[in-house]
Amino acid sequence: MSVVTRFAPSPTGYLHIGGLRTALFSWLTARHNDGKFLLRIEDTDLSRNSEAALEAIIKAFDWVGLNYDGDVVYQSKRFDLYKQYIDQLLEEGKAYKCYMTKEELDALREEQMAKKERPRYDGRYRDFTGIPPEGVDPVIRIKAPQEGTISFVDGVKGEINIAATEVDDFIIARADGTPTYNFVVAIDDALMGLTDVIRGDDHLYNTPKQIVVYHALGFKIPKFYHVAMINNEQGKKLSKRDGATDVMEYKAQGFLPEALLNFLVRLGWSHGDQEIFSLEEMIALFDPKDINKSASSYNLDKLLWLNAHYIKNTPNEKLAELLKEFGVDIAEHDKLEMLLDATKERGKTLVELAEQIKLILNAPTEYDPKAAKKAFKGNAKEILTDFIAMLQTWEKPLHLPSDYHEVLEAIVAEKEIGFGKIGQPLRVSLLGSMTGSGLDEIMAIIGVDETIERIERAVATIA
């Protein structure tokens, strides 16, 4: 049987990285088995839907490159279908109308809480045959088993047993007739042919409810995998205050989708000691049975490390393309290769990489005071002036970094100084700071004229 998995977000906000991870796990399971990965939008609560949220989710999917099969399924467009099943259950006596008002329910809950019981519906209309109270639009409740245990084998957690008394006759249709979550999820998962349901373990308690629906409707129960949550760096539940939780925020911060995906796949899943996984490797190696039971904490340092790794291994042309969004357009620059080779090992994010590039491309407008003080002292002015002269009278061509290196070697030899004596003031002259890319590369990129100009400007500031 071919594997079918799905991701089923409700369009109430952006795509969360926790959601992306379960989506990734589902997607990998489908791709690994040459199966299908479906996308379904859980929008049964008409009042909470948002078009913008839906777009944001699709956009995020697009950015990370998770493709889904077939058309997106919208639950809001399937109400007729759900209605048929509600009627069927009503007819078969597997569901019933409940005339309890919200106020009555609240009172019941409070009473149960006071008695330190788990609040749940008491089944008072389960076998009701009398005359319904007037003025109350009934909800439809499904008959859950009243004794025994509801059991299932979770692919991650193992066997789960929930006492039937813990599962009440939950509502499958609201007073206005619209169906509710646990009911439609079970129907859609069954109808869409899901074989493996991979979701967050906050759904663990929904599973017995959905199993009640599966049984009532005679559907085949899929395999469930409940993945533990992602916590923040303090081990607490991830919330908006923990920085980026929106997937697209990572794009804005200069992360590569392959780094994010690699980071996420290793949160709660592993394959021996391997840390770096290309998409192809993930697909080849992923198996949901290897998903960990326990929650994991989000760790920005590791993401940054992975991102740096992927930046280093991304072809320069592609980087140039990506950098356009970060205020650097070097796609047409004739020294593109040299520029990126000189900088790509210095940026953990595209934002940082863009800064490095700007630093080289734009002449410094000011010199870091500390750096200037340290570098522009002693006979620095004289050395720099001589260096300019040397560049101006150099007879060999000056194109490659190695060409400039020869000049550097020449001045070191002639003046009998260490590299630092020319290196430090030269670096501050060119970049305005004490750190950065290799001098040979910088000079080769900006060219001899610009090099001389920057040094002259620096020399002018030295007393």
Site for RNA, residues 59 to 98, rule: CB under 7 A: none
Which one of the listed residues 77, 236, 237, 240 is annotated catalytic? 240
Nearer to RNA, 299 or 385 (CB): 299
User: Is residue 344 annotated as a catalytic residue, yes or no?
Assistant: no
Helices (H), 33-157: 51-64, 79-91, 102-114
Shortest distance, position 269 Cβ to RNA, whole Å: 7
Residue 88 vs 149, nearer CB to RNA: 149
- From the CB of 131, what's the least distance to RNA, in Å? 18
Q: Name the nearest CA neighbour of 388 among 462, 430, 451, 338.
A: 451
Task: Point out which span in 23-31, 126-134, 241-249, 290-298 binds RNA (CB under 7 A).
Answer: 290-298
Cα distances from 186 to residues 34, 45, 82, 87, 149, in angstroms, run 24, 16, 11, 16, 19
- Residue 142 burial (10 A CB sphere; 0-12, 13-18, 19+): buried
Q: Which is nearer to RNA, 107 or 113 (CB)?
A: 113
**Token representation of residue 334:** 């004739």
Interaction residues for RNA, span 157-186 (CB under 7 A): 157-158, 160-163, 166, 170-171, 174-176, 178, 180-182
If one asks whether residue 113 binds RNA (CB under 7 A), the answer comes out as yes
H-only helix segments in 99-223: 102-114, 181-191, 206-217
Instruction: Give the integer Cα–Cα distance in Å for 288 and 313.
Output: 28
Residues 127-156 that bind RNA (CB under 7 A): 137, 139
Cβ nearer to RNA, comparing 35 with 421? 421
Cβ(200)–Cβ(267) below 8 Å:
no
Instruction: Please name the amino acid found at residue 261.
Output: L
Nearest 5°: CA angle at 395, between 391 and 399? 70
Q: Does 395 bind RNA (CB under 7 A)?
A: no
31 vs 266 by CB, closer to RNA: 266
Q: For the packed helices 206-217 and 181-191, what is the interaxial angle rounded to 10 degrees?
A: 60
The answer for residues whose C-beta is within 8 angstroms of residue 146's C-beta and 6 or more apart is 123, 164, 165
199 lies in the site for RNA, by CB under 7 A: no
For RNA, the binding residue among 235, 327, 378, 447 (CB under 7 A) is 235
Select from 80, 91, 116, 365 the one that contacts RNA (CB under 7 A).
Answer: 116
**Of the residues 169, 189, 196, 201, which one makes contact with RNA according to CB under 7 A:** 201
Q: How far is the CB of 75 from RNA (least distance, A)?
A: 7
Q: Which of 55, 87, 110, 117 binds RNA (CB under 7 A)?
A: 117
Identify the residue among 20, 43, 211, 380 touching RNA (CB under 7 A): 43
Q: What's the CA gap between 161 and 410, in Å, rounded?
A: 80
Q: Which stretch binds RNA (CB under 7 A): 24-32, 232-240, 389-397, 446-454?
A: 232-240
Q: Pick from 6, 31, 36, 266: which binds RNA (CB under 7 A)?
A: 266
Subset of residues 411 to 450 that bind RNA, contact rule: CB under 7 A: 419-420, 422-424, 426-427, 434-440
Q: Kindly tell me which residue out of 63, 206, 325, 453 binds RNA, with binding defined by CB under 7 A.
A: 206
Report the C-alpha gap between 261 and 303 in whole angstroms.
10
Helix axis angle for 401-415 and 380-393, nearest 10°, is 130
Residue whose C-alpha is closest to residue 432's, from 375, 351, 391? 375
Site for RNA in 292-311 (CB under 7 A): 292-297, 299, 301-302, 304-305, 308-309
Give 67 or 151: the residue with its C-beta nearer to RNA: 151
As annotated, the active-site residues are 240
